[in-house]
Structure 1
């Protein structure tokens, strides 16, 4: 993994490499023009704790309006010393100035790793990378004595811990004000979501100078998970927020906090992004504050009752599951929150939809090939014969026959990655009965099936529709070995098409290693060449693959070295 810092410091770098080109057809004139007349709200924190009740009430009203209209505001007079804010940013700079070897010690593989150093946002799923290095440290408040943090540069860990404690105090005061602005008890959010034992995430970002800033992006438009994010930076601009259809450049007051409301407050979680420049290195530090990982976050009953429709806009979901889903995907606007919102509406199975008496055309949500953009479909023919493997010959007493069949099996894996198996010993009766069992399940009432509607990709039983409705822009008409061989044997890309006459039922039995097993190329197969893939826990691969759009082999491709 090459860091953006190392790339930006390359003496011969004059243009943005293709892998970092987000806007290939953009010129500098296409960049959004700043909106100087738009003033981000400023909240004086000292007035939220004023002894004057009228002053407190006025500031609470201003805070509620800032949350509702902007979802972003500056906080002044917050009580965190300027010295501490300056020292923690210097600590971040010192970390990014360490050698690549020292930083790579903290290269994590899972989104919930305690310490994770990396580049871009989620390089395992992105088609284009972002011009950013980061350090993320998860700090669960129920184990404050188990504070794990990089010990270099010297003193960085101690400064970071003090900074986290001070920002937690600021967050508590702001959340009390927000609770009151919603006409709830002052401690409602803090107590209900167990913020005292919640999760803080220390996120340091480095955006080095970029030779063509109009082509690259530090971070794409996105919203933050959690409740409140407190951001400070080294005086170099680059943050833009979306407000009423415009991108607004944010120029913070010195020694202030930029605060944005997160998805789990949704009082509104604002879309924002980070742009880069040609001359200066920007460093920002975001402290994300969320509830306890196992807390189920759902709308406040009082606010649901007062809503016109008297219905909840969002389903309850464990904070941990939301973080894993959001961090495992492409960072794209508020897609996870929006899909979580729409997914809360009664899930209509494809079976129910297909059996609707008035269904004559496909709903827009299920159109996946709007422009008939298809590869040529070749009919099964003698020239295109999917390999057939006779299983009985693999266990034949004739060594020559076994050897011949093994060679055929290897060729099928290498050329096709797909083959038919005959004479396998599983009775036709059993195969027929299991298909009928599946049909029987899908014929159950929606109420009976929805009992098994899972929320997490590793739930033992999960009934649903499409592939992953939480992240898909279009749904699929469906109710629902390669790394080891170092690329020699292929995992074939396949798909399922539908017809307008008959119901197709299929049963896929996926067989994998133990969840904790690290899968990497067999050592014997890399003696004569470099490994093609990095090693990865099977559980982690499953979580990333199942949490994303089902898109060709993007996850596999990202593991290539």
Structure 2
């Protein structure tokens, strides 16, 4: 989770950054280690009290009796399926008892996993796989190439199905891993059959749709050594698992916490000997169209003893395309909430980022706008720029509020150097305008703009609620029934010297929310934590890129920031982007929301201004947000 950088508490000295490739186990066994290296310090730790003092121990975590799910008594089985469905819907996490896996096997698996990490470092180095799908990978943290601060854990990840792999040492590891993995697959297949029935589907639907006979099963061991400053470190940050179901056991040292109704809950596995901790993964959330949510969880560390957990993840076949189940979508009459994606692509997507909540899942949320419409809008926009220059000249509006404007660069009168782009800007709401050519442009702009308004109103309703306001608050305060909606097309031709030119320089958008699509040619970059990030829309077919704009920053009193972004050019092919901006009604006076200001006790950060005046100010070249910022006396 992105959090502002913070200095450690004054009484918590940290050691200089560790630049070696040593494992956390080796680091923790250093005789003079009294403080952790600075590159293991997590700023979020100071804000969330990772010593677990704020977490709740709970005996309320649902318990599923596996023997009832497999009972020949139909009434007993039906009741057990109902309990399981409720646990999936309300928690996304549950404990399974009477599952048939011998207690002696589970303890032996924990013990032999500990033996692996106690082997000499040289012996473990042979398993340092570098690739996500290497069958055996031993390492530390999560993704060191992406992380600013490392996690206090070492790991072993082994693919055990559809092909079985295992490290050659320690002795007996292979037999135990094979036996335990086979037992877990049996339990998972039965659980997923019951979950399928809880969704009013046939027992076999998940199995057949996900290709579970070739499921990807991974045997994961996490080793969290004793940490001298557990309040500054974290074993694993809040995240969801990528698969369908994860089965977890550990060595009875606490540390796992589950997010439930906004609170962290400590697992109570030790209270139920021989139980399995089971959590829902992202693929089951997608398949259930969001009815069953993957659960956020994290791993905390302690300064007394080592914690070992063994987590078996169970996902679809790698090539399975995971999407919301068609019978669920048809029966509920809802649109699919998630886009289809192969499980393999989803895995690569998660691994290519730092571990960050459920951000990977958020990328594939579907908006309900047909892909064919999006592609047609791109194509007809390209047709416009390919018309003869004389035909386009009729649309060369000069004023910022001309309903149709065609031109180049951004603002000739203010720019020392021009930008490498042409543009078309069309007002589409509250009054609809359109160029007369090319044919079909009008119908496509109208349909796409209406769809975008529908999505934006839903997003702003949800954003309103995220601020602790009523869903309709932003809509009513900013006059969204008469919102100012602008359809913008940017055309960035091939450039012979892209290193010297720029499509658009760093800027923020002036409205509330902007929705963007493009023709698959890269170029958009977003500023995040001081770095330029390339957009990855191509990884998500039919997705919308959405950015927060100045008016939302003002309305939220600075809680939600408008994002700085820029457009780069290339020497190979044109880039076309269609950007639909959504702002308040032009005469609306935008100011920080009074309930927010009153509830937080903070003063308003920004002064009031009509949206129309703000647009004129922005186009004059001034730094608008700074212009509105109220100076403290």
Q: TM-score range by the shorter chain?
A: 0.5 to 0.7
Counterpart of 2:326 in structure 1 is 301
1:13 paired with 2:33, answer yes
Q: From 164, 167, 171, give the equivalent of 1:154.
A: 171
Task: Please say if 1:125 is aligned against 2:189.
Answer: no
User: Post-superposition shift, 1:29?
Assistant: 8.8
Aligned with 1:202 (options 219, 224, 243)? 219
Deviation of residue 25 (structure 1)?
7.1
| Paired residues, number | 395
Residue number in structure 1 paired with 2:316: 291
Q: 1:203 to 1:355 in 2, by over 3 A?
A: farther
**RMSD after superposition:** 3.5
Tell me whether 1:49 sits opposite 2:70 in the alignment. yes
Separation in 2, partners of 1:343, 1:105: 46
**Aligned-partner Cα distance in 2 for 1:18–1:344:** 45
Counterpart-to-counterpart distance in 2, 1:208 and 1:116: 19
- Asked whether 1:272 is paired with 2:297, we answer yes
Alpha-carbon distance between aligned partners in 2 of 1:333 and 1:164, rounded to the nearest angstrom: 27
Q: TM-score, normalised by structure 1?
A: 0.64
**Cα offset, 1:340, TM superposition:** 1.0
The SS at the match of 1:19 is helix
Q: Which residue pairs with 1:332 in the alignment?
A: 356
- Per-residue CA deviations over 1:45-70 (Å, capped at 9, x if unaligned) read 00001121111010000000000000
Contact 2:211 2:316 in 1 (8 A): yes
Name the counterpart of 1:436: none
Q: Secondary structure at the match of 2:282?
A: coil
Aligned position for 1:488: none
Shift of 1:108: 1.2
Native 8 Å contact 1:227 1:261 kept in 2 = yes
| 1:80 counterpart SS class | coil
The farther-off stretch of 182-191 and 67-76 is 182-191
User: Where do 1:397-546 residues align within 5 Å?
Assistant: 467-469=535-537, 497=566, 506-507=570-571
* Contact in 2 for aligned 1:111/1:328 (Cα 8 Å): no
Q: Which of 81, 96, 106 is 1:60 aligned to? A: 81
- Displacement of 1:32 in angstroms is 5.2
Determine if the alignment matches structure 1 residue 263 to structure 2 residue 282: yes
User: Which residue matches 1:112?
Assistant: 133
Measured in 2, the distance between the counterparts of 1:10 and 1:171 equals: 41
Shift of 1:37: 5.1
Change beyond 3 A, Cα 1:345–1:140 = farther
Match of 1:518 in 2: none
**Would the aligned equivalents of 1:223 and 1:269 in 2 still touch at CA under 8 Å?**
yes
Q: Deviations over 1:449-471 (max 9, x none)?
A: 87x799xxxxxxxxxx9621469
Query: Structure 1 residue 339: deviation in Å?
Result: 1.3
Given that residues 139 and 200 in structure 1 are in contact (C-alpha distance below 8 angstroms), is that contact kept between their aligned partners in structure 2? yes
1:460 corresponds to: none
Aligned to 1:481: none
Which structure 1 residue ranges, 5 or more long, are not aligned? 366-417, 421-445, 455-464, 478-494, 499-503, 510-561
CA distance in 2, matches of 1:89, 1:17: 29
Equivalent residues of 1:23, 1:214 under 8 A apart: no
Q: Distance in 2 between the 1:306 and 1:467 partners?
A: 35
Contact 2:338 2:365 in 1 (8 A): yes
User: Which SS does the other structure have where 1:129 is aligned?
Assistant: coil
The equivalent residue for 1:237 is: 254
Aligned equivalents of 1:237, 1:355: Cα separation in 2:
58
| CA apart distance, 1:355 | 3.9
Distance across 2 between alignment mates of 1:200 and 1:79: 19
Tell me the TM-score normalised to structure 2 length. 0.57
CA distance in 1, matches of 2:261, 2:169: 43
Q: 1:313 to 1:16 in 2, by over 3 A?
A: same
Provide closer, same or farther for how the CA distance between residues 419 and 47 of structure 1 changes in structure 2, counting only shifts above 3 A: closer
Distance 2:83 2:315 in 1: 23
Q: 2:264 aligns with which of 230, 247, 251?
A: 247
Equivalent-residue separation in structure 2 for 1:90 and 1:224 (angstroms): 24
Superposed, which structure 2 residues align to 1:68-217 within 5 Å? 68-141=89-162, 143=163, 147-217=164-234
Q: Is contact 1:108-1:115 (8 Å) kept?
A: yes
- On the 8 A contact 2:82/2:198 being kept in 1, the answer is yes
Contact 1:120 1:129 in 2 (8 A): yes
Q: 1:356 to 1:248 in 2, by over 3 A?
A: farther
Q: Deviations over 1:328-369 (max 9, x none)?
A: 211111101011115775676997797452599xx999xxxx
- Residue 112 of structure 1: how far off its partner (Å): 1.2
Bigger relative contact order (CA 8 A; separation at least 6): 1
Aligned to 1:497, the other structure's residue is in SS state strand
Is the Cα contact below 8 Å between 1:49 and 1:56 reproduced in 2?
A: yes
How far did residue 149 of structure 1 move? 1.0
Of residues 415, 427, 430 in structure 2, which corresponds to 1:357?
A: 427
Offset from partner CA, 1:356-391 (integer Å, 9 cap, x none): 52599xx999xxxxxxxxxxxxxxxxxxxxxxxxxx
In 2, distance between residues paired with 1:29 and 1:294?
A: 38
The runs of at least 4 consecutive aligned structure 1 residues that moved more than 6 Å come to 347-354, 470-474
